[in-house]
Amino acid sequence: MRAIILSDSHGNFNAMAQAIEREKNIDMIIHAGDINRDIADLEIAYPRLVVAGVRGNNDFWDTSYPDERIFTLDNVKIFLTHGHLYGVKYSLAKLIAKGSEVGADICIFGHTHAHLNESGSGIALFNPGSASRHYGILETNGKEFSLFIKEL
């Protein structure tokens, strides 16, 4: 399974489309919030791809998407949130605690607009950064996974 990870697109559909078109063999789009209806546009533009997203602090008015999601790709458990509810601009401790509580292998988040790919806490922490400049790739194979930050 191969997924592209986006966050903080804030209506910049062109940047997301550029990232998706650049990557080959994508099975899924994961979006970590501040979507400004971008997920709906992605679902229309890429109907063959599964799209999973959450709302961010700038999406408070849109109840179409949850604040967080827990799902599994292959056998990799993912906790997806925007991050503002966990204070990720100040510390990752609350996010790590939540990821541990739900048994996540990976915590995917956004909000800071700064990319991060870290795995020292026993849980992989991944923020693709702002979709206008960066995106992420998740590759899974059974319980094994790899995460990559890519620049537009």
- Look-up: residue for tokens 């994961």? 30
DSSP E strands: which ranges in 7-143? 28-31, 50-53, 68-73, 76-81, 106-108, 116-118, 124-127, 134-141
Domain assignments of the chain as residue spans, ordered by start: 2-151
The size of the chain, in residues, is 152
Cβ neighbours of residue 131 closer than 8 Å, sequence gap 6 or more: 6, 7, 8, 9, 10, 12, 15, 16, 19
With CA atoms as reference, report the closest residue to 127 among 3, 31, 24, 49: 31
Tens digit of pLDDT at every position of the chain (152 positions): 999 999 999 989 999 999 999 998 999 999 999 887 788 899 999 999 999 999 999 988 888 889 999 999 999 999 999 999 999 999 999 999 999 999 999 999 999 999 999 997 789 999 999 999 999 999 999 999 999 999 99
Please state whether the predicted TM-score (pTM) of the whole model is above 0.85. yes
What DSSP assignment string belongs to 104-146? -SEEE--SSSS-EEE-TTSSEEEE---TTTEEEEEEEETTEEE
- Topology of domain 2-151, CATH: Purple Acid Phosphatase; chain A, domain 2 (3.60.21)
Cβ neighbours of residue 117 closer than 8 Å, sequence gap 6 or more: 124, 125, 126, 127, 136, 147, 148, 149
